[in-house]
């Protein structure tokens, strides 16, 4: 039995988006690769995906108190 890796909540949320948020909201293209980028600024964490077909940027922002 393999031990479950300990991941930060941000990594787990990025993995969730990569599995569930694959359809572009602009053109409808389904990106099977679906990689999301994560950046942190101040009290915010930004999750972004760029559609490989139309270059639309899909962004999710998580705000937290520091």
How distant, in Å, are the alpha carbons of 27, 34, 55 from that of 11? 27, 15, 23
CATH topology of domain 9-63: N-terminal domain of TfIIb (2.20.25)
Give residue limits of the domains in the chain.
9-63
The whole-model pTM stands at: 0.78
What is the rounded CA–CA span in Å between residue 24 and residue 15?
17
Q: Within a 10 A sphere around the Cβ of 23, how many other Cβ atoms?
A: 14
Residue matched to tokens 């940027």: 57
Measuring CA to CA, which residue among 43, 47, 45, 42 is closest to residue 57? 47
Residue with the bigger pLDDT between 44 and 65: it is 44
> Which residues, 6+ apart, have CB-to-CB distance to 57 below 8 Å?
48, 49, 50, 51
Which tens digit of pLDDT belongs to each residue from 10-64? 899 999 999 999 999 999 999 999 999 999 999 999 999 999 999 999 999 999 8
Question: Is a pLDDT exceeding 90 seen at residue 66?
Answer: no
């Amino acid at each position: 039995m393999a031990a479950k890796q300990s991941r930060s909540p941000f990594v787990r949320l990025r993995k969730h988006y990569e599995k569930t948020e694959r359809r572009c909201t602009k053109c409808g293209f389904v990106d099977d690769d679906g990689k999301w980028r994560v950046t942190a600024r101040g009290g915010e964490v930004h999750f972004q995906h760029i559609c490989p077909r139309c270059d639309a940027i899909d962004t999710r922002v998580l705000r937290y108190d520091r």
